[in-house]
Chains A and B, each alone.
Chain A
Amino acid sequence: MASTRTAPPAKGLKNSRALSLRIPEPRFRPGEKADFSSLVIPEAGATPRPEVDTAPKDMRELAYGMIRVLDRDGQPVGPWNPKLDPATLKRGLKTMMLTRAYDDRMYRAQRQGKTSFYMKCTGEEAVAAAAAMVLTREDMCFPTYRQQGLLIARDYPLVDMMNQVYSNAKDPMKGRQLPVMYSSKKDGFFTISGNLGTQVPQAVGWAMASAYKGDDKIAATWIGDGSTAEGDFHEAMIFASVYRAPVILNIVNNQWAISSFHGIAGGEDATFASRAIGYNLPALRVDGNDFLAVYAATEWAAERARSNLGATLIEHYTYRAEGHSTSDDPSRYRPTDEGKIWPLGDPIERLKQHLIALGEWSDDKQQALYEELVELVRAAGRESETHGTLHAGERPSIKTMFEDVYKEMDWRLVEQRQELGI
């Protein structure tokens, strides 16, 4: 017979231990030397590639591994090599470089007072560039504000993007949205909210609608590591799982949510990808600075979705090389050299190295392309600025301020427009 025990007294345990609250902190703060040598990063080629129809329970290790294709010498290795032809690789490189050149100009434009706000995606260009090349224009992307590369990959006019950032007379959003909150249905680019996480359940709903209609389109969405703490993310995951929605759920883990490191979002001791496991969704964890790896992972998830096998969660492991936005100063909360010593390097440099290793590219060609793209952006900038900037030149017609609140303007808006005197 087992021995029996008595429940502890309800109170008055004199020798009990005092509890203590844990507040996670990043390992390095300003003035300290960042050191990423303790990060566990699998070698390129080491993570296996399961068949696209693998059951989530049979591929859980991918939530803790890391899909990497390019090795230190820029050679593609392992089962995830998407084996892209040089023309495709060059297109990817150009998209990433154009995105960076665009970001640089618009960042300066903000500093010059031509707009209120800007957000760069420096260091994360591969995430959007590769996805845009895998998905079609008919699929719907539900991006955050750091996937401008989707539009750039689809040759959306830079001038129109700038017009939006400047809220000028030709702004396709008619001056209603904060800079960088683009929208282009015809390019499969959903209107960016600016609120975090809200677009994830919407992407799932859009994908459910496609399945409901027997359509062949899929949806893709992006969320930052910090925003995965939002309920929307988990609501989206449960819907994606329960209804087998054809959607790709991307987490861009760029390590920082404004000034909060990924540990504040619960990403210190568990990978963000592993959140898929409880929802019985397949998870891929990807070197987000490796264009080929992002391409391959997106291709796997897209094929799975198109085969009616449902959603995939992809964690893109990357680093936000610049501030959160023009309103942020990262030197206040993290060492300034973190980005330079980030062990996964820079996505543009790595793809360039790969093309050079293939014998398809050179430093000279890189420099020439860079100059060509800077000029392209400069010309677009000049054109856009003829339509006005935030505080100078033409704005959209003020009358349009009252339109599109509803399909038809009701008496309230008519009265208020008259009250404004227009």
Chain B
Amino acid sequence: MNAMTKTEEAKLDAASPMNMIQAINSALDIMLGRDPNVLTFGEDVGYFGGVFRATEGLQKKYGLNRCFDTPITEGGIIGTAIGMATYGLRPVVEIQFADYIYPGYDQIVSEAARIRYRSAGDFTAPMTIRTPYGGGIFGGQTHSQSPEALFTHVAGVVTVIPSNPYDAKGLLISAIESDDPVVIFEPKRLYNGPFEGYPDKPVTPWQKVEGNLVPEGYYTVPLGKARTVREGQDVTVLAYGTMVHVAVAAATEAGVDAEVIDLRTLAPVDLEAIVASVRKTGRCVIVHEATRTSGFGAELSALVQEHCFYALEAPILRVTGWDTPYPHAFEWEYFPGPTRVARALKQVMVG
């Protein structure tokens, strides 16, 4: 690890109410500053600073070589990043929407994930793939998907989803420093402010959210560790990304003393945190935006059943997106909002 610069030390105590994009930008800024082997690239990432502005100002500050635009070829972006990582760099690439990651999927699954294993450690691919995911923005089928389960299923990949600016920055720095390939899905609906799943309510920007302070300097949030967002006694809600905020709102709406766990890292998931909570509450509701069948909720449900069966007082319930493509006109019928989650919370309390 590089020694901290004086500027960073000075900034350590300084914190500001960043939104999630600013926090991600800050993480990239810090890592580009600390490690000359870090570089970032992707579609519209360079001069323009990314369609969501995550890399804004970085090309100007660090130069063309450190932050640049790429052709529209996700396979090429990820494939070349693997080559760079095996050379010894730590590339951070942006896939503009998670919906576009599939052309690069083979490079992630068959290559990045397996290079360490198949070469018995002769080569490694320390790289980070950032990509905005999820709905709630009227993005239709091609700008709303949650493909995380396609990555949690792959041995050799670390899958991360933050739910707030502080975690987004700390997890991204951990990802860049990780010697394994990491895919970070960024909940784009949360970029500007938390979203409880009430589409008619105005967005509260992160800057006005109480307690939202992001240190300006270097810090990390560990991979593989969940966080308890709301303590409760009656039911455990397992959530990540946008659904963390929906789950908290649903607990209030249902009037149920729910414990909400923000998983933060999906693979490897923090089993200890899950088991401790479910053994305490005896009930479990799993929520995600992604389609239900073979979603990550299925894995979570299996883990809870395997490890907490005798503590369970009700069947485990899943509240998820439906098994359809994300429909443009029916955004809020598709999105598993707080009313649906609240219904599940009440149901497990009865069951």
Decide if A404 touches B103 in the complex (CB within 8 Å).
Answer: no
Chain B residues closer than 8 Å to A58, beta-carbon distance: none
Contact of B75 among A172, A177, A232 (CB under 8 A): A232
Q: Is A206 engaged at the interface, CB distance under 8 Å to the other chain?
A: yes
Min C-beta distance of B97 to chain A, whole Å: 18
Closest to A400 in B: B120
The size of the chain A interface, using a CB distance under 8 A, is 44
Within 8 A of B (CB), among A351-397: none
Decide if B76 touches A235 in the complex (CB within 8 Å).
Answer: yes
Interface residue ranges, A against B (CB under 8 Å): 140, 142, 172-174, 176-177, 181, 183-185, 190-191, 193, 195, 198, 200-210, 212-213, 219, 231-232, 235-236, 238-239, 242, 404-407, 410-412
Chain B residues closer than 8 Å to A210, beta-carbon distance: 87
Min C-beta distance of B91 to chain A, whole Å: 8
Min C-beta distance of B121 to chain A, whole Å: 5
Q: Is B155 engaged at the interface, CB distance under 8 Å to the other chain?
A: yes
Given A203-B83, A236-B79: A191 and B119 interface contact (C-beta under 8 Å): yes
Decide if B79 touches A235 in the complex (CB within 8 Å).
Answer: yes
| Interchain residue pairs A-B with the least CB separation, the first 3 | A205-B83, A201-B79, A205-B80
The size of the chain B interface, using a CB distance under 8 A, is 45
Contact of A242 among B71, B123, B224 (CB under 8 A): B71
Closest to A221 in B: B83
Decide if B123 touches A190 in the complex (CB within 8 Å).
Answer: yes
Contact of A176 among B73, B83, B118, B178 (CB under 8 A): B118
Given A202-B111, A406-B156, A411-B268: A232 and B87 interface contact (C-beta under 8 Å): no
Most buried by B among A176, A181, A191: A191
CA distance A140 to B122 in the complex (A): 13
Contact of A411 among B73, B118, B123, B271 (CB under 8 A): B271
CA distance A155 to B178 in the complex (A): 35
Chosen A-B contacts, 6 in total, with CB atoms closer than 8 Å, are: A172-B120, A195-B106, A205-B84, A206-B86, A209-B84, A405-B116
Chain A residues closer than 8 Å to B251, beta-carbon distance: none
Interface residue ranges, B against A (CB under 8 Å): 39, 65, 70-71, 73, 75-76, 79-89, 91, 103, 106-107, 110-111, 114-124, 155-156, 158, 178-180, 224, 268, 271-272
Decide if B82 touches A202 in the complex (CB within 8 Å).
Answer: yes
Chain A residues closer than 8 Å to B82, beta-carbon distance: 201-202, 205
Min C-beta distance of A101 to chain B, whole Å: 26
Chain B residues closer than 8 Å to A183, beta-carbon distance: 118-120, 122-123
Chain A residues closer than 8 Å to B103, beta-carbon distance: 231
New A-B pairs, 13, CB < 8 Å, besides A198-B106, A236-B76, A405-B116: A176-B118, A181-B118, A193-B110, A205-B84, A209-B87, A209-B89, A212-B84, A219-B83, A231-B103, A232-B79, A404-B121, A406-B158, A407-B178
CA distance A345 to B277 in the complex (A): 72
CA distance A284 to B39 in the complex (A): 33
CA distance A110 to B223 in the complex (A): 44
Chain B residues closer than 8 Å to A206, beta-carbon distance: 83-84, 86-87
Decide if A191 touches B80 in the complex (CB within 8 Å).
Answer: no
Given A195-B111, A231-B75: A190 and B156 interface contact (C-beta under 8 Å): no
Chain B residues closer than 8 Å to A411, beta-carbon distance: 268, 271-272
Closest to B83 in A: A205
CA distance A172 to B82 in the complex (A): 22
Decide if A212 touches B110 in the complex (CB within 8 Å).
Answer: no
CA distance A235 to B114 in the complex (A): 21
Contact of A185 among B39, B118, B123, B272 (CB under 8 A): B123
Decide if B65 touches A212 in the complex (CB within 8 Å).
Answer: yes
Decide if B155 touches A204 in the complex (CB within 8 Å).
Answer: no
Decide if A173 touches B118 in the complex (CB within 8 Å).
Answer: yes
CA distance A204 to B110 in the complex (A): 18
CA distance A406 to B224 in the complex (A): 13
Chain A residues closer than 8 Å to B268, beta-carbon distance: 406, 410-412
Decide if A238 touches B73 in the complex (CB within 8 Å).
Answer: yes
CA distance A208 to B80 in the complex (A): 8
CA distance A210 to B87 in the complex (A): 8
CA distance A410 to B116 in the complex (A): 15
Chain B residues closer than 8 Å to A177, beta-carbon distance: 118
Min C-beta distance of A32 to chain B, whole Å: 38
CA distance A200 to B82 in the complex (A): 11
Decide if A191 touches B87 in the complex (CB within 8 Å).
Answer: no
Contact of B122 among A185, A239, A242 (CB under 8 A): A185
Chain A residues closer than 8 Å to B84, beta-carbon distance: 205-206, 208-209, 212
Given A231-B103, A405-B156, A411-B268: A201 and B75 interface contact (C-beta under 8 Å): yes
Decide if A407 touches B79 in the complex (CB within 8 Å).
Answer: no
Decide if B119 touches A204 in the complex (CB within 8 Å).
Answer: no
Decide if A191 touches B76 in the complex (CB within 8 Å).
Answer: no
CA distance A209 to B81 in the complex (A): 9
CA distance A232 to B84 in the complex (A): 16
CA distance A203 to B81 in the complex (A): 10
Chain B residues closer than 8 Å to A200, beta-carbon distance: 79
Contact of B79 among A173, A205, A219, A406 (CB under 8 A): A205
CA distance A220 to B83 in the complex (A): 12
Chain B residues closer than 8 Å to A205, beta-carbon distance: 79-85, 87, 91
CA distance A238 to B302 in the complex (A): 44
Decide if B117 touches A176 in the complex (CB within 8 Å).
Answer: yes
Decide if B117 touches A204 in the complex (CB within 8 Å).
Answer: no
Min C-beta distance of A380 to chain B, whole Å: 21
Decide if B123 touches A198 in the complex (CB within 8 Å).
Answer: no
CA distance A207 to B79 in the complex (A): 12
Decide if B180 touches A201 in the complex (CB within 8 Å).
Answer: no
Contact of B110 among A195, A231, A235 (CB under 8 A): A195
CA distance A19 to B182 in the complex (A): 49
Closest to B179 in A: A407
CA distance A410 to B121 in the complex (A): 17
Chain B residues closer than 8 Å to A407, beta-carbon distance: 116, 124, 178-180
Min C-beta distance of A233 to chain B, whole Å: 10
Chain A residues closer than 8 Å to B76, beta-carbon distance: 201, 235-236, 238-239
Chain A residues closer than 8 Å to B87, beta-carbon distance: 140, 205-206, 209-210, 213
Given A202-B111, A205-B82, A212-B65: A239 and B118 interface contact (C-beta under 8 Å): no
Closest to A177 in B: B118
Closest to B78 in A: A201
Chain A residues closer than 8 Å to B115, beta-carbon distance: 191
CA distance A406 to B123 in the complex (A): 12
Closest to B110 in A: A195
Chain A residues closer than 8 Å to B65, beta-carbon distance: 212
Decide if A410 touches B80 in the complex (CB within 8 Å).
Answer: no
Most buried by A among B82, B117, B155, B271: B117
